[in-house]
Amino acid sequence: MLLMVGLGNPGAKYAGNRHNVGFMALDRIAADHGFSPWKSRFQALTAEGRLGEARVTLLKPQGFMNLSGQAVGEAMRYLRLTPAEVTVLHDELDLAPGRVRVKQGGGHAGHNGLRSIHQHIGEAYGRVRIGIGHPGHKDRVAGYVLSDFAKAEEAMLDDLLRGISDGAPALAAGDGARFQNAVAARTAPPRNSGTRPAAAPAPAASPAAPPAAPPAPDPEPDLASRLRALTDRFR
């Protein structure tokens, strides 16, 4: 049994926020892998199913981000799991959008959701760091994470969530490298396959010039001219 936690804030107001990409990832996994309908328990929404050979409970805490640890701790204790059997999917400012990294243990780097989880279960749990990029200055971080993904990022986000879902069975099996490869297969531009690009079509030939008009026939001599010529012959 594994517990996969997606971090976010509850409510329609926050549904499209960058801070909610953990919720988005779990929603895609649940839909793609035939999990049970979401239901309320552990101060969270949960769904149950399998990823490969592993039985998995998905959990979306329904307190705000800075209270996420309460739901995670309650669920972990009820399911009799250790922190090593918990994986948290969360937004990561220090990764470019579309990039994903798997990590086991470590600090919370100022993330309020992770800080709360640290307080309730310690730091030995696994993380999937989902890149959202950085706004460039720390004063802009709060507004940035609580804003929706830009229109221009929609295709990237869809590929990212598909990749996370594709790799979820590998993640559940503990194969972080294979999980990251599955995400990269969706998000990274394809490498050169070695085939040469098709040659550019040759420019169309200029249309042939129309044939030159035949020379105009000499004009027929008039009657006076013919008579003068005849007179000249007998002089």
What pLDDT score does 204 carry?
53
What pLDDT score does 190 carry?
62
Please answer whether residues 58 and 44 qualify as being in contact, where contact means their C-beta atoms are separated by less than 8 angstroms.
Answer: no
Using the predicted structure, report yes or no on whether residue 191 has a pLDDT greater than 90: no
Residues 87-109: tens digit of each pLDDT: 999 999 999 998 999 998 888 87
Residues 118-162: tens digit of each pLDDT: 999 999 999 999 999 998 888 898 899 999 999 999 999 999 999
What pLDDT score does 63 carry?
87
What pLDDT score does 139 carry?
86
First to last CA, the chain: 133
What pLDDT score does 196 carry?
46
Three-state SS for 193? Answer: coil
Q: SS3 letters for 10-69? A: CCHHHCCEHHHHHHHHHHHHHHHCCCCCCEEECCEEEEEEEECCEEEEEEEECCCHHHHH
Q: Which residues pair with 222 in a beta bridge?
A: none
What pLDDT score does 192 carry?
53
Residues 40-60: tens digit of each pLDDT: 999 999 999 999 999 999 999
CA distance 169 to 68: 24
Residues 6-17: tens digit of each pLDDT: 999 999 999 999
Q: To the nearest 10°, report the CA torsion of 69, 60, 178, 133.
A: -80
What pLDDT score does 109 carry?
76
CA distance 16 to 35: 22
Mean pLDDT of the chain: 85
- The answer to whether 137 is a known catalytic residue is no
Please answer whether residues 97 and 49 qualify as being in contact, where contact means their C-beta atoms are separated by less than 8 angstroms.
Answer: no
Using the predicted structure, report yes or no on whether residue 200 has a pLDDT greater than 60: no
Q: How far is CA 185 from CA 104, 123, 136, 164, 189, in A?
A: 23, 30, 28, 10, 8
What pLDDT score does 61 carry?
96
| Strand order, beta sheet including 54-61 | 39-41, 44-51, 54-61, 2-6, 86-92, 126-131, 100-104
H or E segment and range at residue 212 = none
Using the predicted structure, report yes or no on whether residue 172 has a pLDDT greater than 70: yes
Which one of the listed residues 19, 90, 111, 118 is annotated catalytic? 19
What pLDDT score does 197 carry?
47
Using the predicted structure, report yes or no on whether residue 169 has a pLDDT greater than 50: yes
H or E segment and range at residue 116 = helix 112-121
**Reported confidence tier of residue 227, pLDDT bands at 50, 70, 90:** low
Average pLDDT over residues 72-76: 95
Q: Nearest 5°: phi and psi at 133? A: 80, 170
Residue 132 corresponds to which tokens in the numbers above?
A: 């959202």
Three-state SS for 106? Answer: coil
Three-state SS for 127? Answer: strand
Average pLDDT over residues 59-76: 93
Instruction: Give residue 125's region: left, alpha or beta (phi > 0; psi -120 to 50).
Output: beta
**Reported confidence tier of residue 66, pLDDT bands at 50, 70, 90:** confident
What pLDDT score does 201 carry?
52
CATH superfamily, domain 2-187, is Peptidyl-tRNA hydrolase (3.40.50.1470)
